[in-house]
């Protein structure tokens, strides 16, 4: 009996061990399968993360091309960036022969920005091969990423473009800039921004490629040095065209009210105590200086002053009351000094200036001396910018009068 019991017990435990071994084998197979599935899915997920970064970059490139308005279309720009990052539309890759699809839609075909002509949608897709799932009949996994970037108004409104100047932005003693938008200085100089005693800047941000030499009272709390260099934000704007010979204007005598229609002129001299009214909207082109003597005023609505050569020269108590066009090629541009014209531009008066629009003088040294500047929106783009002593310059960013917002654009991710 005892021997029989022992044999029976041995058989019982042998059976249990067999069951355990079977369960262990099954568990190991299941675990290996789970590991395999996780490996396939993890690999696909890593590829998707890369696709997402490519889609983001491609959408941004497409939006950049959209507002630059050059010969490169948003589709071509987006696909070029995708190719640079290893995803060429219609081709496979060295590790994955499956065809890549890069779809670019302007406006987006889906999502909250569908129909928005200022937005670019990019969808990057490529079937990814599987390894362990292939055993279960799944030879590929569909992987895709989508991004949407849109053209919006820039957050900045002052740009000093010179790449190396000392004092690319120079604040003289007791000068002040009060801005509701950011300021950017492209100079890499260790004294790219110079501030004298009592000078202050109040703005949401100040970005400097180089550094600052500052003894003024205050700087924006969000002042950053060592930012990336940047290019002319209005480089996309075409140079105004002129044809034929400029018209020579007679000098405007003192104590006169004078009317002038849009056209192409050889310059304009206005003597003291006179008023010049620009009577039609459009572009006033000058091949020569516009000189305003003391106590004069220059008024115009919906106008762009283009200087093919020369610039604007002001004397004491000169009043500028000018607003840019709200539509058309030069919407938002009130002064456009030719990109090859380095004549210094001095907007200096001890009277208030009301300039609504962008002052664009990319090769010029711009000096501002006034007790005020603009009460709607104002943009400054010049090689260097100097704020004269005891001047207060107010920069605003209310672009509600412009259907397309600021003439300076930026691409931003929106989806």
3-class SS letters over 380-397: EEEEEEEECCCCEEEECE
**CB-based contact 206:222 (threshold 8 Å):** yes
Better-scored residue on pLDDT, 354 or 116: 116
Taking only the tens place, the pLDDT of each residue in 261-284 is 999 999 999 999 999 999 999 999
Percent over 70 (pLDDT), the chain: 86
**pLDDT for the residue numbered 102:** 97
Please check the confidence at residue 130 and state whether its pLDDT lies above 90. Answer: no
**pLDDT for the residue numbered 14:** 57
Residues 146 and 171 in one domain: no
Picking from 119, 153, 187, the residue at the C-terminal end of a domain is: 153
Picking from 108, 131, 153, the residue at the C-terminal end of a domain is: 153
Residues 326 and 403 in one domain: yes
Taking only the tens place, the pLDDT of each residue in 11-26 is 556 566 666 665 655 5
Residues 124 and 165 in one domain: no
Of the candidate ranges 117-121, 154-158, 231-235, 345-349, the one whose mean pLDDT is the lowest: 345-349
415 occurs within a structural domain: no
Q: Which whole number is the average pLDDT over 106-135?
A: 87
Better-scored residue on pLDDT, 355 or 299: 299
**pLDDT for the residue numbered 401:** 92
Task: Quote the longest CA-to-CA distance of the chain.
Answer: 139
CA 257 remoteness from chain centre: 42
**pLDDT for the residue numbered 283:** 98
Please check the confidence at residue 331 and state whether its pLDDT lies above 60. Answer: yes
207 occurs within a structural domain: yes
**Element at 18 (helix H, strand E):** helix 2-68
pLDDT band at 249 (very low <50, low <70, confident <90, very high): very high
Q: CA dihedral in degrees (172, 175, 178, 184; nearest 10)?
A: 0
What's the length of the chain?
415
Taking only the tens place, the pLDDT of each residue in 365-398 is 999 987 655 566 889 999 999 999 988 888 999 9
**pLDDT for the residue numbered 219:** 85
**pLDDT for the residue numbered 133:** 58
How far apart are the C-alpha atoms of 291 and 99, rounded to whole Å?
65
Taking the CB of residue 34, how many other CB atoms lie within 10 A of it?
Answer: 11
Percent over 90 (pLDDT), the chain: 65
**pLDDT for the residue numbered 1:** 46
412 occurs within a structural domain: no
The whole-chain average pLDDT of the chain stands at 87
Q: Which domain holds residue 402?
A: 156-407
Domains contained in the chain, number: 2
What phi and psi, each to the nearest 5 degrees, are found at residue 168? -60, -30
138 occurs within a structural domain: yes
414 occurs within a structural domain: no
Picking from 153, 173, 196, the residue at the C-terminal end of a domain is: 153
- Nearest alpha-carbon partner for 344 in 309, 318, 297: 309
413 occurs within a structural domain: no
**CB-based contact 324:334 (threshold 8 Å):** yes
**CB-based contact 384:189 (threshold 8 Å):** no
Residues 250 and 374 in one domain: yes
pLDDT band at 84 (very low <50, low <70, confident <90, very high): very high
Residues 58 and 147 in one domain: yes
**pLDDT for the residue numbered 5:** 47
Residues 190 and 303 in one domain: yes
Residues 297 and 369 in one domain: yes
Residues 259 and 118 in one domain: no
50 occurs within a structural domain: yes
271 occurs within a structural domain: yes
Residues 35 and 183 in one domain: no
Instruction: Give me Rg for the CA atoms of the chain.
Output: 33
Taking only the tens place, the pLDDT of each residue in 159-198 is 999 999 999 999 999 999 999 999 999 999 999 999 998 9
Residues 203 and 137 in one domain: no
Residues 68 and 163 in one domain: no
Residues 145 and 212 in one domain: no
- Nearest alpha-carbon partner for 305 in 260, 255, 272: 260
DSSP state of 96: -
């Amino acid at each position: 009996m005892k021997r029989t019991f022992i044999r029976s017990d041995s058989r019982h435990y042998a059976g249990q061990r067999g069951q355990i071994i079977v369960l262990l084998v099954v568990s190991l197979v299941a675990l290996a399968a789970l590991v395999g599935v996780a490996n396939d899915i993890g690999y696909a997920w890593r590829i998707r993360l890369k696709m997402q970064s490519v889609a983001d970059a491609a959408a941004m490139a497409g939006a950049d091309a959209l507002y630059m308005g050059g010969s490169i279309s948003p589709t071509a720009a987006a696909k070029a960036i995708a190719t640079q990052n290893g995803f060429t539309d219609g081709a496979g890759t060295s590790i994955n022969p499956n065809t890549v699809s890069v779809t670019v839609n302007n406006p987006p075909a889906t999502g909250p920005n569908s129909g928005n002509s200022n937005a670019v949608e990019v969808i990057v897709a490529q079937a990814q091969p599987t390894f362990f799932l292939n055993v279960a009949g799944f030879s590929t996994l569909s992987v895709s990423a989508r991004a949407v970037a849109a053209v919006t108004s820039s957050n900045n409104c002052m740009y000093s473009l010179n790449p190396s100047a000392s004092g690319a932005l120079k604040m003289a003693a007791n000068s002040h800039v009060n801005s509701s938008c950011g300021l950017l200085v492209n100079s890499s100089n260790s004294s790219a921004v110079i501030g004298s005693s009592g000078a202050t800047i109040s703005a949401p941000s100040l970005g400097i490629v180089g550094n600052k030499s500052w003894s003024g009272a205050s700087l924006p709390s969000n002042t950053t040095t060592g930012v990336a260099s940047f290019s002319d934000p209005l480089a996309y704007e075409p140079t105004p065209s002129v044809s034929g010979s400029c018209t020579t204007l007679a000098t405007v005598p003192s104590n006169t009210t004078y009317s002038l229609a849009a056209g192409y002129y050889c310059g304009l001299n206005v003597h003291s105590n006179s008023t010049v009214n620009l009577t039609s909207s459009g572009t006033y082109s000058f091949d020569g200086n516009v000189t305003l003597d003391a106590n004069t005023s220059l008024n115009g609505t919906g106008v762009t002053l283009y200087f093919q050569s020369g610039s604007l020269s002001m004397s004491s108590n000169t009043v500028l009351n000018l607003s840019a066009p709200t539509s058309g090629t030069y919407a938002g541009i009130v002064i456009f000094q030719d990109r090859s014209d380095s004549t210094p531009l001095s907007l200096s008066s001890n009277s208030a200036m009301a300039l609504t629009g962008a002052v664009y003088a990319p090769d010029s040294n711009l000096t501002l001396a006034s007790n005020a500047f603009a009460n709607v929106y104002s943009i400054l783009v010049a090689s260097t910018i100097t704020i004269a002593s005891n001047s207060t310059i107010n920069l605003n960013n209310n672009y509600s009068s412009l259907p397309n917002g600021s003439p300076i654009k930026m691409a931003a991710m929106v989806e």
